[in-house]
Structure 1
Amino acid sequence: MKTTKVLKSFALAAIATAALAGGASADWKPGDEIVLRHAASQPVHSIYVVNAGHKAIIEREIPGVRLELTATQGGVENARLLQAGEVESANGNSTGAYAVHHGRFLAEGEAPYPDLLGWFPGYTADQGIIVNADSGFTTFRDLLGKRVALGPVGSGAEATVTEGLAAMGVTDADFESVLRTDPRSAFSALAAGNVDAVLWGTAHPASAIVEQITTRDVKLLSYDPADLAKIAEQYPFYHSARVAAGTYEGQDEDIYWIGSSVHNWIHRSVPDDLVYAMTKAMWENKDELVERHSSQSFLDEDMVRQQASMVPFHPGAERYFKEIGVLQ
């Protein structure tokens, strides 16, 4: 009778390190039953929906492997959960993964954590400004001294906006109040008049934003190009993101938000052959992911290379992407 294994990242770390020194890990072979715990963010986030697609593909294509999705606050928390050995894999904003892997920015003063590695790309995730249509606000700077809501502490969305504002020379003290909470609560506060703006985003089209536009009278504002340039200059994982006119109903012109990315990360201790098999299964069936979320129509080789430029890939994922010519 087969026994299902639940990987414990730190328990396997020594084994994996030794295996990496001599080539691919022999800790898994096809047919083995194994459970991987995956930090999946909130169901309202687009990446949770995409991860449900990953789970379906992996469990169908690789008998015996189960990807267990756990709802979490998001990117930065997910990187910390992977670092602590609470999960073997995680999605998350590149902010948290870059910081933890390199020991920089949000992890300044901490030792680098090289066991957090890249696995599979997700999508670009832009953080923007949503206000009531009758607010009279036309630029981000109009919000200084007002009440704003951000994503919850521990989420990639919150970290991106907080770091972005800091690069612009803006802190919490520049607002009347700052509410950090989940997107649904943030938009409820906007509807109730308890905040003046929501600074948040995810992959386009974001269902939470579509819902607000469909059911309420809201509008989207741009960040100033000069402010976005300051952010991109200070942080290697952010950029100025153009949200094309027509992305959302009633959006008649391009708007510009803080551009970031959300990818999937994995612990070094997960066996090489298993990561190779999962990566291969997901990439070869990536057309299915478009049915889960339209952001996956932009999943391409450039996105793989963009992820690799920030944090190295796990040897199993790297082997697959090199075999198909995506990585050198």
Structure 2
Amino acid sequence: MTKMTKIMGALLATSLMAGTAFAQSPTFFRIGTGGAGGTYFPIGGTIANGISSPPGSRACDEGGQCGVPGLIAIAQSTTASVFNNAAVQNGELEAGLAAADVTRSMYLGEGKFDGKPHPKLRIVANLFPEDLHLVMPKGSKISDLGDLVEKRVGIAQAGSGTQVAVLQMLDAWGVNRDNMNEAELNNSQSAERLADGQLDAYFYAAGWPVAAMVQLASTKGMELHSFEQADLEKINEIIPAYIPSKIPAGVYEGVDYDVLTPAVSAMLVVSSDLSEELVYGITKAMWNDNTRKLLDNGHAKGKQITADTALDGVEALGVPLHPGAEKFYREVGLLK
């Protein structure tokens, strides 16, 4: 860590611990997202815009920003779920977007994170479903995941929830690092390698449409693997947070068929160290009319991010709501 990073971290921590002072002085709020070619980054940017209201901004009713007074939220590109949750736990980020299954495992210290719980993780909202894309070159086809033995497969980047889940799925079909040629790449890198003939397939869980895949489909072309119903049920047994879903025909150019695939919810996660007042203000700002317009006019998945679905699956997840978020949902009648 550089000296400047340490100084910035100290300044940010000091401002966040100021509690009620956040309305009077600048508060920096870092949101960990994902790669620029995915869905987390644009969605995180929209949320950051919606909840921000820097010092000196025009009032909301005068056409200014309608976020938390004094808050400057910034979306940071990261390697996604695992990194984001770890950074929130360690105080390196104030918030992060993360897959539900990874968030549960890290909070409880289960599975890959056995014995390493992350007790500071708290939920602000369920956001949108992340559909697993298994991308292949145009004209390619597999019957099931077992066909990926001895293939060159992009398993997503280290530090991503996609990689954690994908390795679990592949193992159930007898595929692992020993019998496939795996590549740990982000979505944009994977799309480039596939287009260049260096990969036979790659996985990426994200809300559709995914920018890098839109470009791949419109240039080199691609196929998406549609899972059999029995395979979806098998995956759900292995990873209960992954439920059957569908990417409709026509989302990507040339993919003119419905794609049955597992999906997991994306969550907005914060640290329990953040004050109730701050997180209450952030939650309230997320669901105001101004942020609603930003979400509706941004990435296509933004329309699916609603207050009515903000608590879907949260109770069953086993990760607590932040008290500030809980206060807001009780106030508006979404939580009894």
TM-score, normalised to structure 1, is 0.87
Query: In the alignment, which residue of structure 2 is the partner of 1:309?
Result: 316
Aligned to 1:145: 150
Further displaced range: 43-52 or 129-138: 129-138
Q: Which amino acid aligns with 2:157?
A: P
Q: Which residue of 2 aligns with 1:325?
A: 333
Aligned counterparts, 1:170-249, within 5 A: 170-175=175-180, 177-249=181-253
Measure the CA separation in 1 of the matches of 2:21 and 2:103: 26
Which of 91, 99, 102 is residue 85 of structure 1 equivalent to? Answer: 91
Question: How much identity, in percent, do the aligned residues show?
Answer: 25
Q: Is the CA contact (8 Å cut-off) linking 2:108 and 2:119 kept in structure 1?
A: yes
List gaps (5 residues or longer) in structure 2: 1-9, 53-64
Distance (Å, rounded) in 2 between the aligned partners of 1:196 and 1:157: 18
Find the residue that maps to 2:312 and give its secondary structure.
helix
Counterpart in the other structure of 2:74: 68
- Which residue among 24, 29, 40 is the counterpart of 2:33? 40
In the alignment, residue 86 of structure 1 is paired with which amino acid?
A: E
What is the identity, as a one-letter code, of the residue corresponding to 2:323? P
1:286 corresponds to: 292
Contact 2:153/2:201 (8 A) holds in 1 = yes
C-alpha distance in structure 2 between counterparts of 1:191 and 1:37, whole Å: 34
Q: CA deviation at 1:154?
A: 0.5
8 A Cα contact 2:19 2:278, kept in partner: no
User: Displacement of 1:139 after TM fit?
Assistant: 4.4
- Is residue 2:149 matched to residue 1:156? no
Q: Please give the secondary structure, in 2, of the residue aligned with 1:296.
A: helix
| Contact kept in structure 2, 1:96 and 1:106, CA below 8 Å | no
Give the match for residue 114 of structure 1. Answer: 119
Distance in 2 of aligned mates of 1:37 and 1:8? 14
Corresponding residue of 1:263: 267
Shift of 1:217: 2.1
Establish whether residue 130 from structure 1 lines up as the match of residue 135 from structure 2.
yes
- Cα distance, 1:27 vs structure 2: 4.3
Q: Quick one: structure 1 residues 181 and 292, their matched pair in 2 at CA, closer, same or farther if it must change by over 3 Å?
A: same
**Distance in 2 separating the partners of 1:241 and 1:218:** 20
CA RMSD of aligned residues (A): 2.3
Moved more, 276-285 or 60-69: 60-69
1:223–1:256 Cα contact (<8 Å) kept: yes
Name which of structure 1's ranges 154-163 and 309-318 shifts more when overlaid on structure 2. Answer: 154-163
Distance, in Å, in 2 between the alignment partners of 1:101 and 1:169 is 28
Does the 8 Å CA contact 1:7/1:88 hold for their aligned counterparts?
A: no
Aligned residues: 310
Contact 2:156 2:186 (8 Å CA) reproduced? yes
Partner amino acid, structure 1, of 2:197:
G
Higher alpha-carbon deviation: 311-320 or 185-194: 185-194
Aligned to 2:287, what secondary structure does the other structure show? helix
* 1:96 corresponds to: 102
Contact in 2 for aligned 1:41/1:71 (Cα 8 Å): yes
Give the partner amino acid of 1:45: G
- SS class of match (2:159): coil
Q: CA deviation at 1:295?
A: 0.6
Is the deviation greater in 27-36 or in 38-47? Answer: 27-36
Which one is further off, 35-44 or 188-197? 35-44
When residues 228 and 81 of structure 1 are mapped into structure 2, their CA distance, relative to the original with a 3 A threshold, is same
Q: Structure 2-normalised TM-score?
A: 0.85
Quote the Cα distance in structure 1 between the aligned partners of 2:218 and 2:130: 21
Distance (Å, rounded) in 1 between the aligned partners of 2:153 and 2:236? 23
Residues 210-248 of structure 1: CA distance to partner in whole angstroms, max 9, x if unpaired? 111111121111223222212211323211222222322
Residues 1:273 and 2:280 aligned together: no
Change (3 A) 1:287 1:66: same
